[in-house]
Amino acid sequence: MDDNVLEKSGLDKNVPIPLYFQLKELILREIKNGVYEVGNTIPTELELSEHFEISRTTVRQAITELVQDGWLYRVKSKGTFVARPKINQSFVQAIGSFNEQMIQAGRTPSTEVLKFEVVDATEEIAEALQLSLGDKAIYIYRRRFADGIPIVIVRTYLSYEKCKFILDHDLENESLYSVLSRSNQTNVHKIKRQIEALIPNKEDIQYLDLTQKHAIQQFKSVGYNVFDEPIEYSTARYRGDQNTFEVTITAG
């Protein structure tokens, strides 16, 4: 095993803390301290087993949990690598643009607009935006990236009558919320969200570079203006291996 801090550290077999958990915390500490950087390999199961004189089953349990937690990822026949930390998404409890969230997380945001057109409102869209069936709506389908990695695909519907000025804007280089905020009638003042964990579909796999083993976290959102009128209806599908979501609850 390479000369690193793990060699100078040990596991305490005389305490009631499981050895796999001690090893997991030890590796995690080294990752957080920068000993193992993003993209680096960590020692093999055999190396860790021999170094700490513990079973490979114990080592495998520690590594598996770090993979499940998003700190490591495995590449067949190549080894186990340090993953890029998940993006802590705080938008669940606050209104903010995707770009703002990524910049706050120290990541570089970018957007690909897959569709941007006027459509007839279906029953679902009409109900969400308080339109009549068949009324015109603006449909925006975007794939959004952090440091070039696709992390979410978003389908957004807007009332055509209230938001038709959006059609004159470049939403690959402009923030939708920023453009909407130019008028009290369209500025998103309040959002209601529903969260659901789903198995990825074909589009998720295609656009988010996923396999069926990954989870999708879906957010359905309705944004309201200051007059409590629905302005935006969106379905965002986030890849679970790249995002974590934070909610703060205070006692009433």
Nearest to 161 by CA among 142, 184, 186, 125: 186
Q: Has residue 113 got a pLDDT over 80? A: yes
User: Tokens 């590796």 — which residue?
Assistant: 27
Q: Has residue 243 got a pLDDT over 60? A: no
Residues 74, 113, single domain; the answer is no
Predicted model pTM? 0.64
**Average pLDDT across the chain, whole number:** 85
Residue 250 belongs to some domain of the structure: no
Q: Has residue 92 got a pLDDT over 70? A: no
Q: Has residue 94 got a pLDDT over 60? A: no
pLDDT number for residue 11: 85
Q: Residue 88 is encoded by which pair of tokens?
A: 């802590």
Mean pLDDT, rounded, for 228-249? 76
How far apart, in whole angstroms, are the C-alpha atoms of residue 89 and residue 30? 24
Residue 85 region by backbone torsions, left for phi larger than 0, else alpha for psi between -120 and 50, else beta? beta
Residues 55, 93, single domain; the answer is no
Residue 252 belongs to some domain of the structure: no
Q: Which residues pair with 120 in a beta bridge?
A: 136
Residue 157 belongs to some domain of the structure: yes
**Res. 85 pLDDT band, cuts 50 70 90:** low
Residues 123, 16, single domain; the answer is no
Domain containing 51 equals 5-82
Residues 177, 151, single domain; the answer is yes
Mean pLDDT, rounded, for 80-109? 68
CATH code of the domain covering residue 226: 3.40.1410.10
pLDDT number for residue 2: 52
pLDDT number for residue 91: 46
pLDDT digits (tens, 9 = 90+) for 129-180: 999 998 999 999 999 998 888 889 999 999 999 999 999 999 999 999 999 9
Residue 158 belongs to some domain of the structure: yes
Assign 71 to helix, strand or coil.
Answer: coil
Residues 108, 228, single domain; the answer is yes
Q: Which of 32, 57, 82 is the last residue of a domain?
A: 82
Q: Which of 22, 48, 82 is the last residue of a domain?
A: 82
Largest CA distance in the chain: 71
pLDDT digits (tens, 9 = 90+) for 197-225: 888 899 988 998 877 677 788 989 999 99
pLDDT digits (tens, 9 = 90+) for 119-133: 999 999 999 999 999
pLDDT digits (tens, 9 = 90+) for 37-83: 888 899 999 999 999 999 999 999 999 988 877 788 888 888 998 88
Residues 122, 30, single domain; the answer is no
Q: Which range among 5-9, 101-105, 227-231, 234-238 shows the weakest confidence by mean pLDDT?
A: 5-9
